[in-house]
Amino acid sequence: MIWGVLRRRVALSQVLGQAWRGSPKVSDPSCYHTARKESSFVRKEFACVQSSSYHTVLGGHVYTKPIREVNAIPQTESVFRLRSRSFSSENEDVVEAAVPFMGESITDGTLANFLKKPGDRVEADEPIAQIETDKVTIDVVSPAVGVITKLLVNEGDTVEPGIKIAAISKSPKAAPLEQAASQPSPSKEKEHVETQPSKTETAPVKEAKKEPSPPQTKSKGLPPPPKPTEPQLPPKDRERRVPMTRLRKRVATRLKDSQNTFAMLTTFNEVDMTNLMQLRSDYKEAFVEKHGVKLGLMSGFVKAAISALQYQPVVNAVIDGDDIIYRDYIDISIAVGTPKGLVVPVLRNAERMNFAEIEKEINTLAKKATDGSISIDEMAGGTFTISNGGVYGSLLSTPIINPPQSAILGMHSIVNRPMVVGGNVVPRPMMYLALTYDHRLIDGREAVFFLRRIKDAVEDPRRLLLDV
């Protein structure tokens, strides 16, 4: 057996030697370099010989197909392994824009629309497409300055991180030659031919995994249950059907899961906004002059909620399996309605913020949420949510808990109503407050005390200063 291996080794070496000596000549100006390297490693069990070659011609390349030959023999004999590896150079004039990492919990997204088309010039880091995910809209930016030569995917396609969506030429002359620029190099064609069979073989396997379930259901004699994504209503005149966005589907799923998971109960109270509104009126100009941001009512409610969460820490906790997780930090989620749906950015470590810091952070997050530039990290987490339906004119509502939290505060519109103050009936700006909480964790007593604490702090903001 060892003699057969040796004969094959000698014959193959002769062929390679002839190929090296008989290499085609190249007209000047050109150069031809040959590098050969051979190494051997001998052990008691086997012997290994490796040979690699790389040929470069100015204006062209000579490539050899990778070869791997391994012969197994008894332990007392030797093995010779010959491997020839090809090298190819990438086209540096063409770069491809790829889908970026979208977040720990996001595996794919829908390519909503292209902001650029073939032939358009783009700058480095300029957005060329938008991807809609379950939570936010993410921009795909150009990796370099150049001209878009080809779009590699279509609008509406589902894409994953790393998927290439557009080819960009960095050479100005490549724009008119779109077809030539998009054609791969010989080495890429070779790699494509070699790797294509594996892709065509694996694709049917993935499809085959998705299709067996319906026949199995039918074989049992049970009708398949209707899927939520399947149309259920017959079409009618003056109706139009549009697909739900990924964000809308995600919101719908989370809200329904919240309703199915939590034992939700809502308690109400009303708050007199006179003193907080007077405080804002007295110091709004000085506040803007010093901090560069307007003093709103939301910062007062955030500070009041922080005080209440510190007073009733169970509201800041959450059930996880058979355990209760108590958080020693306070991250306040602020519900923001956008044209594309509801998003909930988070004020991190809100207990460490003053009024000005809260107002600045709320304004920053609200602008990002509105223009779609908010990131996943800026919405992840949160221990308690505040939702202000009053900006839309809501008088009263029962908000739904935002998992994995245990409670949510609902603010509403301010309405002048007759109130008894000091034995007299006077008009007062009043707001209804609603606290929805998980009754599995929070008892009614703690919930009422929590909401009462917010009411007291808002009606007398001096409590927030004195921490009483």
Q: Which residues are catalytic?
A: 439, 443
29-60 in b/e burial notation, b at 16+ Cβ within 10 A?
eeeeeeeeeeeeeeeeebbbbebbbbbeeeee
Q: Could you give the CA distance from residue 269 to residue 458 in angstroms, rounded to a whole number?
A: 12
Q: For residues 449, 450, 452 and 455, what is the CA-based torsion angle, rounded to 10 degrees?
A: 170
* SS3 of residue 365 by DSSP: helix
Are 428 and 419 contacting, i.e. CB atoms less than 8 angstroms apart? Answer: yes
Q: Is 365 exposed, middle or buried (0-12, 13-18, 19+ CB in 10 A)?
A: buried
Beta bridge partners of 363: none
307 membership: H or E segment, kind and range: helix 298-311
- CB within 8 Å of 95: residues ≥ 6 apart: 143, 144, 146, 167, 168, 170
- CB within 8 Å of 96: residues ≥ 6 apart: 143, 152, 164, 165, 166, 167, 168
How does DSSP classify residue 439? T
How does DSSP classify residue 42? E
114 membership: H or E segment, kind and range: strand 109-114
**Both tokens assigned to 21:** 């000596």
